[in-house]
Amino acid sequence: MTKSSFSNIQSEYLALVDHNKCVRCKRCIQNCGWGVYSFGGDRIISDHNKCVACGRCYTYCPEGAISIVKNPTVVRENANWKDGLMKDIWRQSETGGILISGMGTTFKYKKYFDHVLLDACQVTNPSIDPLREPMELRTYLGKKPSKLDIEFDKNDEPILKTKMPPQIELQTPFVFGAMSYGSISLNAQKAMALAARALGIIMNTGEGGLHDDLVPFGKNIIVQVASGRFGVHRDYLNSGIAVEIKIGQGAKPGIGGHLPGEKIGVDISKTRMIPVGTDAISPAPHHDIYSIEDLRQLIFAIKEATDYEKPISVKVAAVHNIAAIVSGIVRAGADIVYIDGYSGGTGAAPNIIKNHVGIPIELALAQVDERLRNEGIRNEASIIAAGSIRSSADAIKAIALGADAVAIGTAALVVMGCHVCGKCNTGNCSWGITTQRPELVRRLDPEVYGEKLYNLISAWSHEIQEVLGAMGVNSIESLRGSRERLRGVELTDTELKVLGIKHAGF
């Protein structure tokens, strides 16, 4: 077991090659973005220390000769001083740096979705067979007036008088979460764009601007405006179906972002509209938003620039006082509020933030929905819930808690091969997702993975239809906010109260 240099930190995984099976085809060397494998004259040699268990090598080894195992060498067990803590100390004592990593928190906080059960019909009202009968998932995102005004034409037929605010039509209540070109590869974005168009849903540029190749997908794209304003200009604002102001992100509430200069190649430079090789720094706050009325000012600055034709979404991280914050955002004129829970993903975030700041999306969502209803303004904005939606079950529960739609980020990347190794920040992603290295990006075929994304969302949509049918309703709007169809298990009274649901059995 070799180590690349002296360090207290032992390699976490071992990349073991069965040399009897290995045919020396060297695909592992090609496939590994981390440089684990090299050829030692007659056999493959592994530098275990570089292995992140991303799964690329064994997936592509034609002989099944590779296994990645946890390093059995123990760091002396101590329930208080877990080995991760010691490793962090060693790492920081070597570099003096803030620890960063990609993806959501790895901490094991309670996952409330896993403690909520769904209802179904038995006898007193019937379930509906979703295979035979219509089961509507169509969802409109945007501000809804509280009431409708109509007038009558000369045949006394009612016609719409209310001027409806702009809406985004989704064929199924999913959107792809914001992931910028820079944090992920262009091919990864293209895969989402293709899937979004085929599914009748939307993707989100993130804060990295809109690449020319994605312009034709505008009707399926939300363009984002973050504090760095990368690639943001008038035509950009008008090129998507909606504009999102990014205030925060679940994985890193309250802090900004850096795309390091080495990732800013020619193409990203063009899309972000910054010079090649400079850091793309998104400051922690928008410097034109220091207070809620400033948010209103930016919302309407964008509405003015888009002639009031685009819904404006505001993305915030779920933090302690989220209900009041979202209430303020809605009153500031947002048409959509995107709430990102603390276990949401990221391209890079300091571990101190990622693992310790924010609150779960389930609790945030429940409180926001309740608060907006109490204030009588729930219709004023749609809510997108995000922050580790891992399955259609999570999506259904989020919608029943009050979300209009859910966003998926990490799940979409998992479709593309991501094994959630959490090394997105390094730019070495062997799957071609969170990297800008051309030889790695090239292996992510947008059409292949676009289709897989399509398959996933289609499958999840069918699963939602199954659940709706079991609940005896044939439209998603009859589930949305219907907490009566949820029951908690293994939850305290306080948790149940926050979620606004009853314990199972009641």
Of 47, 474, 503, 504, the one binding another protein (CB under 8 A) is 474
- Does 497 bind another protein (CB under 8 A)? Our answer is no
Q: Whole-number minimum distance, CB 183 to another protein, in Å?
A: 15
Q: Which stretch binds another protein (CB under 8 A): 73-81, 318-326, 358-366, 419-427?
A: 419-427
The DSSP bridge pattern shows strands 174-178 and 349-350 to be unpaired
Binding to another protein (CB under 8 A) within 191-230 occurs at 225, 227-229
Closer Cβ to another protein, 204 or 355, answer by number: 355
| Residues 230-289 within binding reach of another protein (CB under 8 A) | 232-235, 237, 258, 260-261, 269-270, 273-275, 277-279, 281, 283, 287-288
Among 302, 312, 384, 389, binds another protein (CB under 8 A): 302
Does the protein bind another protein through residue 307 (CB under 8 A)? yes
CB atoms under 10 Å from CB of 290, counted, come to 10
467 binds another protein (CB under 8 A): no
Q: Can you tell me the distance from the alpha carbon of 250 to that of 389, in angstroms, rounded to the nearest whole number?
A: 12
Using CB under 8 A, pick the residue from 168, 423, 431, 488 that binds another protein. Answer: 423
Which helix (H) or strand (E) segment holds residue 486: the answer is strand 486-488
In the bound complex, what is the minimum distance in angstroms from residue 286's beta carbon to another protein? 8
User: Any contact of residue 305 with another protein (CB under 8 A)?
Assistant: yes
With binding defined as CB under 8 A, does residue 471 bind another protein? yes
- Within 8 A by CB and 6+ apart from 20, the residues are none
Residue 111 contacts by C-beta under 8 Å, 6 or more apart in sequence? 343, 360
Separation of CA 212 from chain center: 23
Beta strands in 373-461 (DSSP E): 382-386, 405-408
Sign of CA dihedral 444, 449, 313, 101: negative
**Options 23, 85, 131, 150; binder of another protein; rule CB under 8 A:** 150
- The pairing of beta strand 405-408 with beta strand 174-178: parallel
Question: CA neighbours within 13 Å on the CB side: how many for 298?
Answer: 24
Q: Which stretch binds another protein (CB under 8 A): 36-44, 130-138, 181-189, 327-335?
A: 130-138
The residue from 309, 439, 484, 490 that contacts another protein (CB under 8 A) is 484
Q: How far is the CB of 311 from another protein (least distance, A)?
A: 12
- Check residue 185 and give left, alpha or beta (phi > 0: left; psi -120 to 50: alpha): beta
Binding mask 370-399 for another protein (x = CB under 8 A): ---xx-x-xx--------------------
> In which residue are the tokens 């959501």 written?
104
Binders of another protein among 320-379, rule CB under 8 A? Answer: 348, 350-351, 373-374, 376, 378-379
Q: Kindly state the greatest CA–CA separation across the chain.
A: 89
Residue 224's H or E segment, with its range, is strand 221-225
| Separation between Cα atoms, residue 351 and residue 122, nearest integer Å | 47
Comparison of 73 and 93: residue with beta carbon closer to another protein: 93
- Residue 160 beta carbon to another protein: minimum distance, rounded to whole angstroms: 4
Q: Which residues, 47 to 106, sit near another protein by CB under 8 A?
A: 88, 91-92, 94-101
Backbone phi and psi for residue 244, each to the nearest 5 degrees, phi listed first: -115, 130
Of residues 109 through 128, those in contact with another protein by CB under 8 A are 121, 123-126, 128
Q: How many residues bind another protein (CB under 8 A)?
A: 98
Distance CA 143, CA 379 (A): 6
